[in-house]
Chain A
């Protein structure tokens, strides 16, 4: 133990020697050297009223409330807002306790000097990533020795730095190309806008013209007695029967189709219920997944509800209705030629239906129709049904011409609007992302491949196969602050403000929000995905390199170690 103490004294002697040699004590950077020049005394940097002897500098005891007397030890490392405090920490009250020094200064000869946090000084760990000369472990606690590795680390770094610089040069060239491309694309849009303007003028004219024509034709055709294209073998009644026949056929076909759909859906529902029943049996109640539990509960509630009766009798009736009219003993032709009052015809029509379901059918068909209309299966003809079928071909033709003209105009206007909007959209500085639109890059991580398509969507694709998952659709650009270490090869975000693409409204998560991705962009020679993280359940973050954000306005040039 004696020898150990002796060794320590030697060590301290060495410190003193080093201090005079370089005229600044251990851990002091050139920026702060002026505070340590006085050979007789030392004044706490932020507390000029406190004077110490120079022997108190780096004596491994914290005297200054701002820690400035211990630039080369960890003795003042507890002076931090992150540490618990007691009055005895800084001896005197009412003093300026904000830290005076940024850290332990490593000279890193052969590489770039840097500061190491005081908490890392003499903790027995060589912090080569920030202190390549190992000088922060001068105390050799626990026998640790950190040799100077600046030579190799510096060399390696310079190699990477060179490559990085070269790559940056390429990147900025690429960016220029992208800017040019973006400008070209923008011009295209502008050109299109211009031509659209002319087109719209023409189309407006045409619309006016066709509308006039339609009015003219309608006027001409007015008063003509014979309407419709139904055969002339009957009068008004025949016409009605014809209509009824057409309509019945239409309804029957729809009924059959909807019934098939219903049966298909019934099958799917059964499969689904079977799935859920198995799920309810096999799920793990201890998993305590609120989503699962909610689903199980909802399923229980659902299963408990009365099911819609499946009535075989009604189904038989539907079978009947679905048959061709001939099979039902309904001969339309007879009626088309027979002389009966309209009322009689209608009455008889109903009579020919199986009487048990007359009302049922009536309501069902009505419901069905409404359903089909509301789902866009059938056109809503209610408003025009009185007109169309009775209009003459001339009117119809004129009308369709007018409608075509109107459609053209509407489309052109839409086009115009979207192009105008496109021009106003934020495509980033220099409109640059216009040039990247639709380009995709991907990377493998774990069991998935992750892809981002610029201004499109982000996607997760399982390597084992199976469906792709949309992780969000591009919504907008944002500026966010990042604070990362920049690796020597420059493939990282570094720190500062960066452009981020927000992707939202992706596939909904089981027991969570719909997926979203923030794609944070950093400068790189190629478009490439650096990193993919699930920051929270279904909230992803991608770090992507692209030349598009290199040296963009309002962004400090990236790369290079932060020189302190």
Chain B
């Protein structure tokens, strides 16, 4: 592990000096932490924690924020007013407040600073930065759901408090206490969320720096001891870390607020971190973290397990959950943010006689700059919160079908020949895959939009071979552009002035893969226009229509920058400081690439396809552009284990198209680990094998038997279930629902399951998976929350919930159950790629539950174009009823769309695709002697239907294995209405 010691430059002079003086100490062992700030090293975090401590320890502390009652206005769903902050010297600061209430039932509370808004402040060091607080995060993150509520109304305007009712049937209420300023949100009269209940609210207003006699200060955060009066100013002005100094031209400007969830024991979210799904407490103590959860997108190599440390992306959205109720908040702020989580248990309240003590979770949000801007979701169901959040920030894009199949990546396939060789070997070993990837080495000396002429002399032939089996190529393009001569891309970047600037407003230069580089400023709309030109097939020669994109290093990663990223006083388009927009940076870059791909293919006749982009850095809203992965993990068991809660955390945060590198990026996995990882990966929404350049090759066919065979089975399982996965993606793309779903989401009433984050359901299919993540495991214990039968996917063994069930899990087995009551669509014919499954028939697995009924859906389209938006898709609901003795296929398409040519052509092309088999698991024993069933099909546009007999086979219960039945070759079209009568 650790290189470390000083992160910055280590001059040979100081080296010699240290040697001579003999005071050199061996560098600390722990690497990563020293490269990244703790709360204590981050001035504003330290200040606000200290503020919270002071508030807590000061009896009778009064929050200095008051809403001026006279200023309160309510108009068309928006309440506005002015909050006054009283300073110790008697002066006041005016903070304009708006509380917006949307039709969707979401409330938004925004607090700005009047002086900054009006530009009545001075910047230090002659900075050219903007004077306002950053108010454009919504421009990038919010895309919908902001229609103001016409039904919202002021309920009471009193001296003490103002109240508004809003939401569905006006069941929601926001009560704003004037002094001290606080907001309480109620649903059905019950308090769900409280702002500033603990009086931690702290809005650092602008102030001029009062120059004091300079005291020699050493690098580091230690406060000079001379500070005696009032506030500790040591972190207000210039701050240094790891040899980089932040000039902070606006001084202290943090915003902080405590948000309490009374009665809620669990909070989920604040992705991306490695800890458990249910967030831990962060203020020290046994099994708690000592630092807050941090959100400051960073290139954290060798990241730690079970840590609140920041990672590559940020979604400042949390949900609190208790039995039968979920609520949430979105903290819309793109600056560095820290979140303290504490829980308190009200001990035996004398008024609640006998009722169990309730736990309240308190969160304390601290951002370095920008607005105080919070969206509030009042549930009550998990999907209500996630759905409303997704409506605001956008639904995950419905990906192209290939994108949810298996991706084969490595840093790096070294030549075009190498790529074609790997492609052939997958076929030779009958292992399906859809996409092969190229990391940075394909470029000519790390110049993006070029090919290395020595190693990739003929990229088009390579892509043609891939296309021969409907496979794709994904290549990497990063935001750093090499600063070198004879490179037109950097020349254009400079001449058009589209790069990020440094604090002096000149083009910023830093180090990344190519050495000296400049960074595309994707906050600039002109940069998007320029970026579009670069991807054109005639501009980046050697790219074909089956090539797609990977955006890495977009935090951005800057090797010689503070915390491996850009200096905070860098300037972006609109003169916003990097500090204000940091967490959005990755999103803007992927957005540019997404737009560029859209433009690239729109220009092509009839090639109106959905872009595919993978990103490492992300923010709320990035899900609209593509997939993410959890960055540079390691080939060790703990990383496999952590991948599941990490992906669940993203799935409930509106970003379900998520995956972790299968096999682990750094290091060489054992064959067992690799096999288990493929078994788990088959259940990642984004499923990609990847490996570091220094690792041994590990394509599945290299593992040898029995491993290769077992891995192939896992891959083929994924492929056969692709119809179910695609349907889940469709649901996510229309409702924001998670694709893999944690226990609390599926069973919101079952409090025993709220903390479980190592098993999950796949979409609405009732498939319950718990991949093995421990070495040498032979079995796995699954938790069944409901009174329902669950069947083993592979042998139909029946388990009865509720309770824990032990399932055998030797190396060749994935613990996978089917919850009764569902119908799962599959395509069982193994093909070389998912594109070649397009015309294959379907198998429907009907899993009969306690009610005797089962239901499932199937969504299908051409898997690549936007034609589905015009209605070119198939959407069916399958319903089985034991009572009626029938299975029926019903149409779920929205009426009136099926008239266009495209739609007709699509449906005609699908007419030959049929159902080849219906498997009924848990079949009633009354069917024992049945040999045939009646099948009737209604052709589309016709009401008449012909009935035919189809062979049927019943297999009786065998010990613990449930009875099942098979309808053989019913031959009905997948897009047609039909009925099977048993």
**A residues with CB within 8 A of B:** 1-2, 4-5, 8, 59-61, 63, 74-75, 77-78, 80-89, 91-93, 117, 119-120, 122-125, 139, 141-143, 273-274, 277, 280-282, 284-286, 288-291, 293, 296-297, 300-301, 303-307, 445-447, 463, 483, 511-512, 533-537
Contacts and interface: CB of A to CB of B under 8 A. Distances in A.
A534 B413 CA distance: 10
Interface of B: 1-3, 5, 7, 9-10, 12, 15, 18-19, 22, 24-27, 35, 299, 301-302, 414-415, 417-418, 421, 428, 430-431, 454-455, 468-470, 511, 513, 557, 559, 564, 632, 666, 692-697, 709, 712-714, 716-717, 720, 793-796, 828-832, 836-841, 907-909, 911-912, 916-917, 919, 921, 939-940, 953, 955, 958, 961, 964, 966, 968-969
A290 B299 CA distance: 17
Given A288-B302, A445-B415, A142 B5 contact: no
A143 B910 CA distance: 11
Given A86-B795, A141-B912, A446-B414, A119 B832 contact: yes
B589 to A, nearest CB: 18
B830 A78 contact: yes
CB-based closest 7 A-B pairs: A141-B839, A61-B969, A447-B454, A123-B836, A84-B717, A88-B919, A1-B911
Contacts of B917: 61, 88
B829 A77 contact: yes
Contacts of B966: 88, 91
Nearest to A278: B12
Given A91-B953, A125-B836, A84 B716 contact: yes
Given A82-B430, A297-B3, A289 B694 contact: yes
A141 B513 CA distance: 46
* Residue among B22, B301, B695, B961 having the largest count of chain A Cβ atoms under 10 Å: B301
B794 A78 contact: no
Contact of A124 (B716, B839, B911): B839
A275 to B, nearest CB: 11
* Residue among A59, A84, A277 having the largest count of chain B Cβ atoms under 10 Å: A84
B964 A87 contact: yes
Nearest to A293: B3
A293 B2 contact: yes
Nearest to A292: B3
Given A119-B832, A123-B831, A535-B697, A288 B716 contact: no
B362 to A, nearest CB: 36
Contact of A82 (B414, B709, B829, B841): B709
Nearest to B976: A1
* Residue among B25, B27, B431 having the largest count of chain A Cβ atoms under 10 Å: B27
B831 to A, nearest CB: 5
A123 B829 CA distance: 10
A537 B964 CA distance: 51
B904 to A, nearest CB: 10
A303 B18 CA distance: 9
A1 B564 contact: no
Contacts of A273: 12
Contacts of B697: 535-536
A8 B709 contact: no
Contacts of B557: 286
A446 B912 contact: no
Given A77-B830, A297-B2, A88 B964 contact: yes
A537 B511 CA distance: 26
Contacts of B709: 81-82
Given A60-B969, A124-B836, A303-B19, A87 B961 contact: yes
Given A119-B832, A536-B697, A142 B839 contact: yes
A296 to B, nearest CB: 5
17 contacts: A1-B907, A1-B908, A5-B912, A60-B841, A61-B968, A61-B969, A74-B829, A75-B829, A84-B714, A86-B794, A87-B955, A92-B955, A93-B955, A93-B958, A277-B15, A286-B564, A537-B694
B909 A119 contact: no
B9 A290 contact: no
B421 A285 contact: no
A83 B796 CA distance: 17
Nearest to A536: B696
B3 A296 contact: yes
A123 B415 contact: no
A60 to B, nearest CB: 7
Contacts of A483: 428
B14 to A, nearest CB: 10
B483 to A, nearest CB: 15
A123 B969 contact: no
B832 A120 contact: yes
A288 B836 contact: no
A288 B940 contact: no
A81 B958 CA distance: 23
Given A125-B468, A533-B418, A285 B10 contact: no
B696 A288 contact: no
Contact of A4 (B35, B796, B912): B912
Contact of A285 (B26, B564, B693, B796): B564
Nearest to A122: B839
* Residue among B1, B831, B908, B939 having the largest count of chain A Cβ atoms under 10 Å: B831
A85 B301 contact: no
B808 to A, nearest CB: 15
Nearest to A463: B454
Contacts of A306: 19, 22
A83 B694 contact: no
B649 to A, nearest CB: 24
A286 B455 contact: no
A288 B830 contact: no
Contact of A142 (B831, B909, B968): B909
A120 B831 CA distance: 7
Contacts of B692: 288
B712 to A, nearest CB: 4
A459 B25 CA distance: 44
Contacts of A304: 18-19, 24-26
Contacts of A83: 713, 716, 720, 828, 830
* Residue among B428, B468, B709, B969 having the largest count of chain A Cβ atoms under 10 Å: B969
Contacts of B717: 84
B433 to A, nearest CB: 13
A81 B430 CA distance: 11
Contact of A84 (B3, B418, B513, B720): B720
A80 B666 contact: no
Given A286-B301, A306-B19, A59 B969 contact: yes
A446 B713 contact: no
A222 B796 CA distance: 104
A315 B753 CA distance: 78
Contacts of B15: 277, 303
